[in-house]
Each structure stands twice: as structure tokens, then as C-alpha cells.
């Protein structure tokens, strides 16, 4: 998913705009996670993700499209994005799996 020199190529820019990656029906999340996601986050010590949200034209909802703009700042070093976890001694008698995922079962406000 990323060229061999992808990280070095990105170093020449002041910012990285990273859109949606993956297609779970065709590309497993583990491929997109370990392909571009984790190398970019770790190489550039990216600790936060800024996501801009706007109401799309024609979408009806409680927000007024002319006055709403939401900026979501998400911490980027937890759970799946940390790259922590995995399996050791795979297939053996002492196989061990370690996971690091702290997602809540429901939103906490």
C-alpha cells in the first residue's frame, strides 16, 4: 500500500493529508494498519489527529449547514494505533497473545 521510499518522500512536505485508507471487504484492516498507518504515525511522531466535520450539501439534520463546523481532535497513540500487541510463539504450546485496545463499549460524555 505504500512505496518502499514512501516515508522518505513524505519527509519533504510540511504536512500530510491522509484520507480514508482500506476497504475491509477486500483489504484486511491489519494490512492498512501496518502498511501506511503505523509507519507514518511512528516516523513523524504523530500524537494527534485533527478531523474536520461539516454537514454535506443536501443532508438534513439538527445542525445548520451554514453555521456548523466541528473540529475533532483525537489522540493517536492508543489502541490499534499504538502498534502494541500481537502473538509470540505462534502455533506452539506456549503461544501468547497480547492486545492493547481501550475502546469503550459505549460513548462516555
Query: Which triple of cell numbers denotes residue 102?
Result: 481501550
pTM value is: 0.54
pLDDT score of 79 more than 70:
no
Assess whether pLDDT exceeds 60 at residue 108: no
Neighbour-count burial of 81, counting CB atoms closer than 10 A to its CB (0-12 exposed, 13-18 middle, 19+ buried): buried
| 107 vs 109: CA distance, rounded Å | 6
- Residues 31-51 have pLDDT tens digits of 877 777 788 888 887 777 777
Mean predicted confidence (pLDDT) in 46-62: 77
Residue 71 reports pLDDT greater than 60: yes
Amino acid at each position: 500500500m505504500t512505496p518502499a521510499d514512501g516515508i522518505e518522500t513524505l519527509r519533504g512536505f510540511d504536512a500530510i493529508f491522509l484520507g480514508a485508507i482500506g476497504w475491509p471487504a477486500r483489504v484486511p484492516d491489519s494490512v492498512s494498519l501496518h502498511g501506511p498507518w503505523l509507519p507514518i504515525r511512528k516516523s513523524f511522531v504523530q500524537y494527534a489527529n485533527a478531523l474536520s466535520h461539516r454537514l454535506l450539501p443536501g443532508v438534513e439534520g439538527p445542525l445548520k449547514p451554514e453555521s456548523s463546523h466541528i473540529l475533532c481532535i483525537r489522540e493517536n497513540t492508543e489502541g490499534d494505533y499504538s502498534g502494541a500487541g500481537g502473538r509470540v510463539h505462534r502455533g506452539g504450546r506456549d503461544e501468547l497473545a497480547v492486545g492493547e485496545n481501550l475502546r469503550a463499549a459505549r460513548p462516555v460524555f
